[in-house]
Amino acid sequence: MAPAARWSTSPVLFLLLLLAAATATTTTTAKDGHPSPTPWPERFHAVLFTNLTNYTEASTGPPLRVTDLYYDWPRRRNLNLVRHQLSADPLYDVEWNNGTGFYFDSKACRVEQFPVGVLPPWWLSGGGAEYVGRRVAGGIDCHVWGKAGFIFYYEEARTGRPVRWDFVDVTGIQQFVMSFEPGAALEDDAQWQAPAYCFPDDDDAARSSGEEEAGVGLEAASRLLRKLAGAAATY
Ligand SMILES: *[C@@H]1O[C@H](CO)[C@@H](O)[C@H](O)[C@H]1NC(C)=O
Ligand SMILES: *[C@@H]1O[C@H](CO)[C@@H](O)[C@H](O)[C@H]1NC(C)=O
Ligand SMILES: *[C@@H]1O[C@H](CO)[C@@H](O)[C@H](O)[C@H]1NC(C)=O
């Protein structure tokens, strides 16, 4: 059985979905005089540093992770490759627009069904974001917005690139964008393919029992994601 603790880090995954990214366009100014967030590019690759600042609540896994996020809106898919600190076995989170999410490492898999699909590029820019102001984050001059009372999103004032986002819930998840490549895609289809053990067809009950514990952290994440996606879909 795969160690459950590995899976419980999934809150990071949600966050990754949120990452946003901005294209090279600069922030536009809305009618109210406040800047508007930059939409995500349709495809990008970002490397995120994640700190689950309240991780005893968010997850039983380690609080620090590095994630490669491949956002691919044209193909309606999203991949997070999550590496926990000092862990040799990365965790994959592959999300499809039909709501199915596969979480797997080299040994085990968990499948989740969400009522929503992949976040659209305009999930923040499309409306509902409240401008918070200008802040320096990591030494970078940023515009900051809040949305739906659960996320603060920072983008570089000069370029519109995403810099950071914080979830305002008990998990205290903070994600920092370490690199951002608009247009970059993960073309290797093998990387998107969930392994055979994600599709048990008979007596694989033992495996799923090992994943129940792992699901605890995932649930928190899925709720966040759903909320975010739901908010995005409203506009
Ligand atoms: C992670 O967050 C905790 C709680 O805010 C903080 O004490 C710690 O320094 C942070 N770690 C890193 C590496 O940022
Ligand atoms: C959603 O799409 C993925 C990728 O094509 C597929 O593996 C999965 O079975 C689909 N889920 C449902 C509920 O149809
Ligand atoms: C961290 O989690 C604990 C336990 O759920 C909660 O009481 C506390 O408010 C959380 N801290 C923050 C800053 O949200």
pLDDT of residue 54: 81
- Secondary structure class of 12 (helix, strand, coil): helix
pLDDT of residue 56: 65
For residue 11, the domain's CATH number is: 2.50.20.30
Q: Is the CB of 57 under 6 A from ligand 3?
A: yes
Shortest-distance Cα residue to atom 4 of ligand 2: 96
Which residue do the tokens 């799923």 mark?
Answer: 208
How far is it, in rounded angstroms, from Cα 51 to Cα 107?
25
How far is it, in rounded angstroms, from Cα 138 to Cα 161?
14
How far is it, in rounded angstroms, from Cα 69 to Cα 174?
15
CB 43 within 8 Å of CB 185? yes
| pTM tops 0.75, yes or no | yes
pLDDT of residue 44: 98
Whole domain around residue 41: which residue ranges?
4-231
Q: Is the CB of 131 under 6 A from ligand 2?
A: no
Per-residue pLDDT tens digits for 113-128: 888 889 999 999 998 8
Residue among 52, 57, 166 whose CB has most ligand 3 atoms within 8 A, to mutate: 57
pLDDT of residue 52: 84
- Secondary structure class of 212 (helix, strand, coil): helix
Q: What parts of the chain have a pLDDT lower than 50? A: 1-26, 205-220, 230-235
Residues ≥6 apart with Cβ < 8 Å to 223? none
How far is it, in rounded angstroms, from Cα 144 to Cα 163?
10
Per-position b or e across 2-13, b if 16+ CB within 10 A of its CB: bebebbbbbbbb
Q: What amino acid is encoded at 203 in this protein? A: D
Per-residue pLDDT tens digits for 30-73: 557 899 999 999 999 999 998 888 866 555 567 889 999 999 99
How far is it, in rounded angstroms, from Cα 226 to Cα 229?
5
pLDDT of residue 96: 94
Q: How many structural domains is the chain composed of?
A: 1
pLDDT of residue 223: 53
Q: Is the CB of 53 under 6 A from ligand 3?
A: no
Q: Is the CB of 42 under 6 A from ligand 3?
A: no
pLDDT of residue 168: 85
How far is it, in rounded angstroms, from Cα 55 to Cα 42?
31
